[in-house]
Each structure stands twice: as C-alpha cells, then as structure tokens.
Amino acid sequence: MTTTTPPAGTDHTTPTTALVLGGGALGVSIATHLARAGARVTLATSGELCDGASGRSLSWLNSAGDRSPAYHALRVLGVDRYRTLFAAGPSRDWLRFTGGLWWGDEGDREGTHARHADEVARGYDSHLLTRKDVAGVFPGVNAEATAEESIWNPGEGWVSLPHLVDHLATELRTLGGTIRTQLGECSLLVEDGRAAGIRDASGAELRADAVVVACGAGTSAVMAGAGVDIPDGSPLAMLVTTEPSDAQAPVLNTPRAAMRPNPGGTFCVDHDWYVDQIVEHEDGHCTIDESVVTELLAEASRLLADGTPLKAGTWASGRKPIPADGQPVLGTVGQLPGSYVAFTHSGATLALIIGDLITHEVMSGSRHPLLESFSPDRFTA
C-alpha cells in the first residue's frame, strides 16, 4: 500500500492533482497508481496511448544477465508485480510466465557459464541445459539450433504492453482519471522555479500540483526544455509481429533472434544486429528494408522445431528509451520541485513497480529507498 502521509518535519503537501506526461506503459502505470492513491490524475500524451516504444516492445519480463544489485532488486520486484497481476487473472492471454531460454554464441562455453554463475550468485532461478535436455523439455524448440549449452530461467515471462496499457487505462478512467491524447509535443510549465503543469502544442496549459514526465525517448528533450539535463542514449530498434502460427516456444533469446509468444498465436521477434539499417527520417518516423525483416524471421523460424516458416504480419521501428548511462532515471527532480521523471530501459519489466514507487515519492514527498540509486539528480553538477 502506498503511503500518502508526508514525512514529519517537511513542508511537503500531499498533492491533490497530478499530471503524467507520456502515454506509454510507464506513464499509464504511474497515472493509475496515483489515482489508486487518491490523486486527481490527468494523463497527457502527444498522440495515442502506446504509440511509442510500448507499442513495439519484446516485453520479456526478466532480470537475467549481469546487473547491479540495486537494478536487479528493482527488476525482480517488477516481475513480482506481474505475478500478482497474473494471479488476479490467470486466463489473460497477454501476460504469461512461460520461462525464458537463453543461449550465446556457439563455442562461448565460458561466457555461458559466467552468466549462469552470476545468476546463481544472485539467487535468480537459472539452470544449464544441454541440447539433449532442450530437446526433451521443449519439443517446440529446434534443439539443433541451440548452442551446446543453454540457460533456462523458469521464472521469466512476457507481457503484451498494448493490452497492459488498455487494462490500466480502463482502471484509470474508472477511478476518475482523465486521459488527454493528441496534444502534440508538450513542454513543462515552470513558475517560480517549480513545475506547475504542461503546455501542449497548441499553447494550452494544464496545471497540477505534481508533474511526472514519462516520455520515453522524448524525456531528455522535455526536461532539457525546463533546464534539467538528463542525457539520452536511446538507440533505434525494430520489432516484428508474425502472422499466427501453431508453433510453441517459451521466450527465446539467442545470438540472431529474440522472440516471445503473443496473443492470437502470433510471435514478436527482435534483435540488434540490423540496428544500423534502420533509417530515421527528419520527421522522426523510421523505416527499414523489408529484406531485413525477412532475414530476421528466417533466423526466428530456424529456432522452432515444427518446420513452419514464420511470416511477418507487421513491423515497427523507432527509438528504444535508454538513458545515456544505461541506468534507470527515476523519481523526484531536486532541481525542479514538483517534477518527477520515469525514463528507463526494460520499462516493460519495470512498468508496474515504477508506477508504485513513483507514486510513493509524489504522495509522501520522500524518496523511496529503492529509487536512491536511480535519482535524476545524479546528472546535476
């Protein structure tokens, strides 16, 4: 339960109105958590809900690989929040805990063992499987395509963010929250050194006691407009959604393709080997040659045992939000009272826990201990 009592000895007044800028998974989650905590919330966004990275995300729920202890803790809690959501509606086809199978380059046994040892040291559920094991446990996976050894993480899962956003937005509206779409590029309204609201592209102002900026790859630009430096390192990325297929697989992360199941018997597939072939045009929209999509799906099809080639249904590219130092930027902005930021990589895994923890900061006026390492103030000289 989020506390709404301001800490003793501070001049923090619990906000009654809150404005969340950005209609992706983070913004919608934060807005919904704020509404649950009793704030009168407006969610404002430039276009439609989920039109940014959240609409084209692999959304593998995990804390695999090598992470700082603080980042690992946050991600594990992030996955745990999804378990709670799953328990409340286990028949939802947009949130599943299928587990995840990972393998690296053939011959890099040392790298695989180091990754596994690191996961085991952190208490992350991690198992080394041989090709024979994979063939026995996952009949839907082409064991011949795996490396000599793979890592099986049974606690992992996946979510379809457009479904999650829709689910949370429904709750937000039920709680009395307002959703404002098609506002164009908004900027922060700063008065007397405080964030007082936002100004939309038409010049109209929306005011609130607290303003949370969750604009994905657009976060740096919004904060820079208010004089706050949050360096951006967001790369280009592309996600392909396949046509329906009978194939069965858990989340797969492999040297040439990453994929997960998706509602309707489709799969979502991505990787990073083709990033320099994505073209970003002046107006911000991105394109990629269809031959790259075909090649990616050939790589993904090879991972499946049923021999049915996967066909591309749709694909979308754009920026994947990542702060320049690779670490999440979360919480109270000391330089600009009344403002808060949520800008991170792995925002699918973190969306629910971030909604909860940012709400704690907004309503209580105190930093949440779990967000200390991720403070936006680390960039302030």
Ligand X SMILES: Cc1cc2nc3c(=O)[nH]c(=O)nc-3n(C[C@H](O)[C@H](O)[C@H](O)COP(=O)(O)OP(=O)(O)OC[C@H]3O[C@@H](n4cnc5c(N)ncnc54)[C@H](O)[C@@H]3O)c2cc1C
Give contact residues for ligand X (rule: CB under 6 A). Answer: 21-27, 45-47, 51-54, 56-60, 161, 185-186, 214-216, 218, 222, 237, 239, 270, 320-321, 344-349
Q: How far is the CB of 264 from ligand X (least distance, A)?
A: 19
Q: Quickly list H helices, 98-191.
A: 109-121, 131-137, 161-174
What distance in Å separates the CA atoms of residue 27 and residue 49, rounded to the nearest whole number?
9
Nearer to ligand X, 143 or 190 (CB): 190
Q: How far is the CB of 83 from ligand X (least distance, A)?
A: 15
What distance in Å separates the CA atoms of residue 104 and residue 146, rounded to the nearest whole number?
9
Nearer to ligand X, 143 or 188 (CB): 188
Read off the tokens for 114: 């180091």
Nearer to ligand X, 104 or 218 (CB): 218
Nearer to ligand X, 143 or 357 (CB): 357
Where do we find the tokens 């010049």? 203
Q: How far is the CB of 252 from ligand X (least distance, A)?
A: 12
Q: How far is the CB of 180 from ligand X (least distance, A)?
A: 10
Q: State which H helix or E strand residue 365 sits in.
A: none
Nearer to ligand X, 147 or 296 (CB): 296
- 218: amino acid identity, one letter: G
What distance in Å separates the CA atoms of residue 1 and residue 124, rounded to the nearest whole number?
26
What distance in Å separates the CA atoms of residue 197 and residue 220, rounded to the nearest whole number?
17
Cβ-proximal residues to 110 (8 Å cutoff; 6+ apart), any chain? none
CA atoms within 13 A on the CB side of 17: 11
Nearer to ligand X, 39 or 213 (CB): 213
What distance in Å separates the CA atoms of residue 241 and residue 316, rounded to the nearest whole number?
9
Q: How far is the CB of 81 from ligand X (least distance, A)?
A: 12
Nearer to ligand X, 12 or 379 (CB): 379
Where do we find the tokens 């328990």? 87
CA 162 distance to own-chain centroid: 12
Backbone CA torsion sign across 66, 68, 1, 163? negative
Q: How far is the CB of 109 from ligand X (least distance, A)?
A: 25
What distance in Å separates the CA atoms of residue 17 and residue 129, rounded to the nearest whole number?
52
Q: How far is the CB of 19 from ligand X (least distance, A)?
A: 11
Q: How far is the CB of 218 from ligand X (least distance, A)?
A: 3
Nearer to ligand X, 135 or 316 (CB): 316
Region class of 4: left (phi > 0), else alpha (psi between -120 and 50), else beta: alpha
CA 46 distance to own-chain centroid: 19
